[in-house]
Amino acid sequence: MAKIVLFCLLSLLACAAGQRITTIHLDGVQYFISRMNPYSPELNYFLAYQYCRSLGLQLASFETKEKAESMTTYLKNAGYGNYDFWTSGNRLGTGMFLWMSTGLPFNATFDFFENSADAIQAGLLDPVDHNSNTSPQRTARDSSGAEKGCVILKQPTLKWMPEDCSAVKDFICEQTRCYYYNYGSIPVSSAQG
């Protein structure tokens, strides 16, 4: 409860005071790294997601090996290799990991999970669901919960690791493109339903 109150107060202060945030521009993408900003708290996955949205950003997705390696190299070189960071990756309500910010499944062509073989053996990862299963018809009915359901960049290697979504961590937000959808509209009346 105290974290929620703190989050709300910080959000209000940011809006009222016009807080300037520090971002980095890395490989053509603008990132907000919570550890770089002294007024940004460590948050659980859900509050981190909301915090990013309050800044007009989203939790970061790392769909390519190059993007993941570029960020981990930057974090290590900037002295942030001793912290865990939330990404948008999760398997909430599904049996496979998806990037919440894009809705895309994890790319099966590269595996950035920390010690995948050890994690599978420890029961943290299921070999069927962490990269290879891309069948939404099967997984949409799965009721996976928040325990080990969200993905962090795990220190010191900053590789992916499933984590309890309620754990308090730093986080990385990214600026995403805005798309304009031209939806066709069909005039109907309520009597036609």
- Say if 10 falls within a structural domain: no
Estimate the crossing angle of helix 2-17 against helix 45-54, to 10 degrees: 10
- Say if 7 falls within a structural domain: no
- Say if 122 falls within a structural domain: yes
- Say if 36 falls within a structural domain: yes
How far lies 57's CA from each of 85, 111, 146, in Å? 16, 26, 23
pTM greater than 0.95:
no
- Say if 2 falls within a structural domain: no
Domain count, the chain: 1
- Say if 1 falls within a structural domain: no
What is the bridge-based pairing of β-strands 85-90 and 58-59? Answer: unpaired
* 33-64 residue pLDDT tens: 999 988 888 999 999 999 999 998 999 999 89
Which amino acid, 66? E
Instruction: Please give the residue range of the domain that contains residue 68.
Output: 18-178
CATH number for the domain including 160? 3.10.100.10
* 86-119 residue pLDDT tens: 999 999 988 788 999 888 888 877 778 877 565 5
- Say if 92 falls within a structural domain: yes
- Say if 13 falls within a structural domain: no
